[in-house]
Structure 1
Amino acid sequence: MRYKPEYKQQKRQELLNITGQIAKKNGFAATGVDGLMQAAGVTSGAFYSHFSSKQDLLKALVEYELQQSFNLWQSNPHHNAADWINFELDRYLTPSHLEHPEQGCVLPTLATEVARADDTIKQAYEKELLRGHALFSTHLASEEKAWAMMSQLVGAVLIARAMHDPELQKSILQANKMIIQDYLAAHSAA
């Protein structure tokens, strides 16, 4: 059976979306190709028509997921720096982001796996993350502030997710939000 040319690309995007959700929820290394493909409703053989290896899938996932994050950051409706930042803080530092990693940012879930991956994956991660960093730098008027804010956001989610007590999780998110806002307010006035 012959498929339309766009079918393969559409199926690849669908596979990236589904496997991304699973990898963000359960971990990429912890889930085998068979498990990923079963969740996506395709055979392992279909996997190899889209990706040459599990590492190739990880590289594609990193690129796809960071592109999704970039699109979210880019869709922020605010142009004023303070409003842009507050919007991102309100969007990122939420209990739902903790409770549903499969729907959230790839950074708190897969960064450690990327750190253990080969150079090709690290280069893809770096390339895509630098695009996001450039966007944050524009709104913060500082490359250093952009790195600090991005790292603070990811770290806050990562640490809060590891806590058992939901109230403690909320406190961690709120504390980070407050510290980021205070820091940026103090350094924008200087």
Structure 2
Amino acid sequence: MRVSRAQAAENRERILEVAARLFRERGIDGIGVADLMKSAGLTHGGFYGHFKSKEDLVAQACGRAVQKMRDNWIKAIEQTGGDPIRALTGTYLSAKHRDNAGRGCTLAALGSEIARQSTAVRHNVTEELKPFIDYLSEIVEGNSASIRRERAIALHASLVGAIVIARAVDDDTLANETLRAVTNVIRSTSTPRAPRGKKGTTPRTPRATKA
């Protein structure tokens, strides 16, 4: 029985969502296509009607996951209306994020694996990460664009690294200390940038991209 275009598009979205979550939970090589499709409530045979290969799915799912998390963090930051650095660290460097890899940062969950994936996978992740670095460059202080960008990259690397370590250790005390220590250092050294513009404007939100 053939499905409508609308249903096919819905099925494709479901596969991408489930794949992004399961890859982050189990690792890219931790689940095969058959089990992934079963988790999405679809048949194995329908997979190749949506994707050329598992590699194609990995590239699209990881890129989509970075995009969605980026947009979610920016939304959370801007909804607070306060210090964006405090809002970001409060959301990212939290026990909730640490304990929910399947719905968290793709780079913190899969960074080392993505580094070993194909050019297509790495390219998709890179292109979706760049707008977030641009956004961070707009909320950190600095006397030049190059300094702000350097600080933005360092800020992002500190966030990701803290979550990686907090998940890796089997000592809850050390895990919590790691999150608190990095939070405190970031907040004490990363001054938020004053609004720019005649009437004071917030940093420009990157335009959402299509998968």
- Please give the TM-score of this superposition, normalised by the length of structure 2: 0.82
How far is 1:79 from its partner?
Answer: 8.4
How far is 1:4 from its partner?
Answer: 3.1
How far is 1:73 from its partner?
Answer: 2.7
Do the aligned residues in 1 keep the contact of 2:24 with 2:109 (CA within 8 Å)? Answer: yes
User: % of aligned pairs identical?
Assistant: 29
User: Which residue is equivalent to 2:187?
Assistant: 181
How far is 1:39 from its partner?
Answer: 1.5
Distance in 2 between the 1:159 and 1:105 partners?
14
User: Which residue is equivalent to 1:163?
Assistant: 169
Distance in 1 between the 2:25 and 2:91 partners?
19
Alpha-carbon deviations, 1:71-116, whole Å to 9, x = none? 1133122587x71111110001111111111121111111112110
* One-letter amino acid of the counterpart of residue 180, structure 2: Q
1:86-97 maps to which residues of 2 (within 5 A)?
86-97=86-97
Distance in 2 between the 1:127 and 1:26 partners?
24
Moved more, 150-159 or 165-174: 165-174
* One-letter amino acid of the counterpart of residue 156, structure 1: A
Of 149, 159, 180, which residue of structure 1 is paired with 2:155? 149
Distance in 2 between the 1:79 and 1:174 partners?
20
* One-letter amino acid of the counterpart of residue 16, structure 2: L
1:1-190 maps to which residues of 2 (within 5 A)?
1-75=1-75, 76-77=77-78, 83-141=83-141, 142-185=148-191
How far is 1:34 from its partner?
Answer: 1.5
What are the ranges of 5 or more consecutive residues in structure 2 without an aligned counterpart? Answer: 142-147, 194-211
**Alpha-carbon spacing, 1:163–1:25, altered in 2? closer, same or farther (3 Å):** same
Q: Which has more helix, going by share of residues? A: 1
Distance in 2 between the 1:53 and 1:171 partners?
41
- Please give the TM-score of this superposition, normalised by the length of structure 1: 0.91
Provide the alpha-carbon RMSD of the alignment.
Answer: 2.0
User: How many residues are matched?
Assistant: 187
Distance in 2 between the 1:157 and 1:104 partners?
10
Do the aligned residues in 2 keep the contact of 1:78 with 1:84 (CA within 8 Å)? Answer: no
Distance in 1 between the 2:24 and 2:119 partners?
21
Do the aligned residues in 2 keep the contact of 1:20 with 1:61 (CA within 8 Å)? Answer: yes
Distance in 2 between the 1:103 and 1:53 partners?
24
What are the ranges of 5 or more consecutive residues in structure 1 without an aligned counterpart? Answer: none
How far is 1:5 from its partner?
Answer: 2.1
How far is 1:65 from its partner?
Answer: 0.2
Runs of 4+ in 1 over 4 A off after TM superposition: none
1:173 match: secondary structure: helix
**Alpha-carbon spacing, 1:92–1:84, altered in 2? closer, same or farther (3 Å):** same
Distance in 2 between the 1:71 and 1:152 partners?
19
